[in-house]
Homo-oligomer: A and B are copies of this chain.
Amino acid sequence: MTGQPDLTNVSCAVPLGTHETVQMAHGGGGRLMRRLIEDLLLPSFRVDDGTGAHQRPPHDSAVLPNAGEPLALTTDSFVVNPLFFPGGDIGKLAVCGTVNDLAMAGATPRYLTCSLIIEEGLPLEVLRQVITSMRQTADHAEVRVVTGDTKVVDRGKGDGLFINTAGVGIVKPGLDVNPARVAPGDRIVLSGDIGRHGVAIMSVRESLEFEGAPDSDCAPLAGLVESIATLGLDLHCMRDLTRGGLAAALIEIAEDANVGIDLDETAIAVEAHVAGACELLGLDPLYVANEGRMIAIVPQAVADQTVTRMKGHEGAPAPVVIGEVTKSHAGDVEMYNAFGNRRLLDLFSGEQMPRIC
């Protein structure tokens, strides 16, 4: 493996220079781009793996060791607005989002790519903070950023910074997680309270200043998946709750697996400040984005064990069974409240919260 990430052809020991903001030339393939990569990006992601490979010049691709296990591949672009929010930033989000997509496919996340689309004029200090955050989150999630790319677009043709991360992971042997395996009788385990990420973003965007505004739940979920995937539990499906929230994830699974889902509203926790903000903003927490919560769909017989295994892991502050899969009302998700009233959940066709991730 190349110990040195390739962030598009590098070298030269000149400091980033006198510019304090990103210039078009930082994306032009010339000297300034080389400095940006050499002075900021490469040092941030370089790992000395003991092979000396990190001292070789970077190249067009990273080469990965490979023991022959099936691989998972995923990609995600992040356009969150604002770039910084309570509990995270676009860099942390870009690592967690892709790590979580791999984890949900039953894979152990290993390698990430990092591709930046920077708007001319972005303060270099902002870029530095975001890259630092990516590296810290990658270290925490035990993945390595091994290759990258940098583009700059003119002022007014972007929005500060967009980040794409693609990820490669190793599929855990014996696991077959897929919506197609979801079956009537299965239980739905939710890892914790919902809606924190969306509310954290909206609180900044709408300049809400209320006491106890929640932090985003943004977190890597690979450790959580490890806790339930390596113990012989027959996991039928997993899904992290991102855009569209808990509702969208369940509706998609119900449609894909052609099953019904019954939810118990009283089991679904929404923290008091999140609930308050949702009321203020006219949002339904069921549809509000999360970035560190997941559902696992498992046979009834192992539901309690799944809850127990999840407890205490990052992203699972309060795992709980919130519902079950039914043969009836196939394709539909229905929710019952404390009074036994039934509500049919449907996908929003409109846009509840744009650019949440």
Binding site for B on A (CB under 8 A): 6, 9-12, 23-25, 27-34, 56-79, 81, 100-102, 104-105, 107, 111, 113-117, 146-149, 151-154, 156-159, 162, 164, 166-169, 171, 177-180, 239-240, 242-245, 248-249, 252, 255-257, 289, 346-355
Find chain B residues with CB under 8 A from A58 CB: 256
Whether A347 and B166, one on each chain, are in contact in the complex, defined by CB atoms closer than 8 angstroms, is no
Contact of A25 among B62, B79, B107, B350 (CB under 8 A): B350
Whether B57 and A62, one on each chain, are in contact in the complex, defined by CB atoms closer than 8 angstroms, is no
Distance between A154 CB and nearest chain B CB, rounded to angstroms: 7
Identical chains bound together, number: 2
Inter-chain CA distance A102–B63, complex, in Å, is 10
Inter-chain CA distance A75–B56, complex, in Å, is 19
Find chain B residues with CB under 8 A from A162 CB: 117, 151, 153, 162
Distance between A309 CB and nearest chain B CB, rounded to angstroms: 21
Contact of A151 among B32, B79, B152 (CB under 8 A): B79
Find chain B residues with CB under 8 A from A255 CB: 11-12
Inter-chain CA distance A353–B68, complex, in Å, is 42
Inter-chain CA distance A67–B101, complex, in Å, is 23
Whether B28 and A164, one on each chain, are in contact in the complex, defined by CB atoms closer than 8 angstroms, is no
Whether B252 and A113, one on each chain, are in contact in the complex, defined by CB atoms closer than 8 angstroms, is no
Whether A30 and B349, one on each chain, are in contact in the complex, defined by CB atoms closer than 8 angstroms, is yes
Whether B61 and A74, one on each chain, are in contact in the complex, defined by CB atoms closer than 8 angstroms, is yes
Inter-chain CA distance A168–B12, complex, in Å, is 29
Distance between A121 CB and nearest chain B CB, rounded to angstroms: 13
Find chain B residues with CB under 8 A from A73 CB: 61-64, 111, 113, 146-147, 166, 168
Find chain B residues with CB under 8 A from A62 CB: 72-74
Distance between A37 CB and nearest chain B CB, rounded to angstroms: 11
Q: Known: A61-B72, A117-B79, A166-B113. Contact between A351 and B102, CB under 8 A?
A: no
Could you list some 21 contacts between A and B, CB below 8 A? A9-B252, A9-B256, A24-B354, A25-B348, A27-B355, A28-B354, A29-B248, A32-B349, A34-B252, A60-B74, A61-B169, A63-B105, A66-B68, A75-B114, A79-B153, A81-B157, A153-B159, A157-B158, A158-B158, A162-B162, A164-B164
